[in-house]
Chain A
Amino acid sequence: KQEVTQIPAALSVPEGENLVLNCSFTDSAIYNLQWFRQDPGKGLTSLLLIQSSQREQTSGRLNASLDKSSGRSTLYIAASQPGDSATYLCAVRWLVVDSNYQLIWGAGTKLIIKP
């Protein structure tokens, strides 16, 4: 059974620090993995999508890496800012049959950046 785990559930760091959020998955034969952020009372915003053939993706201060063999993805946030405070979720896709896929979500990491 495919499972996605995000640890820790919550993280609080001072502004300016670099930080890493973790996403682990049980089956390494993934199709792709997507990182989202969710602000309170809002929808989910896509941050980065990594295909199974890629090792990392970058967008501004964000860098997502993928290590399928260890079943792990990390989201690196450089020079954190209070505006980065949000819940970060990862979603992993596995192909099922006939081009259909199963999307499994982690429970998220709630990040608080202290000014």
Chain B
Amino acid sequence: DARVTQTPRHKVTEMGQEVTMRCQPILGHNTVFWYRQTMMQGLELLAYFRNRAPLDDSGMPKDRFSAEMPDATLATLKIQPSEPRDSAVYFCASGSGGRVTGELFFGEGSRLTVL
């Protein structure tokens, strides 16, 4: 059963600490998205990768957020230093990109609480 796997599922940390969230996309998918969801803002796109290359990270606060794909099986989203306003659920999604764009599949999310 292919699925997007995210870790950790829950994270509570103190302001100023570094937070790293990880995502394992579905094998064979070449597009990866990072989204943030809050009650107030809904789903916000943070970063979008295709074939491990970042195509759009305009929604990501560059001073504290960074997103990478060290290899095709791992995407990371790092926040350093974290702030209370970063508290949200962070979703990773993967799909097949290019001219034949398939369905987008989401992970269960990482719920981050910054105190």
| Residues of A bordering B, CB below 8 Å | 31-32, 34, 36, 42-46, 49, 89, 91, 93, 99-101, 103, 105, 107-108
Contact = CB atoms under 8 A, between A and B. Distances in A.
B22 interface: no
A43 B107 contact: yes
Interface residues of B, number: 21
Nearest to A93: B101
A95 B56 CA distance: 14
A43 B91 CA distance: 7
Interface of B: 33, 42-43, 45, 50, 55-56, 91, 93, 97-99, 101-109
Given A99-B97, A99-B99, A107-B42, A46 B50 contact: no
A69 B107 CA distance: 33
Contacts of B50: 100
Contacts of A108: 42
B45 A46 contact: no
Nearest to A108: B42
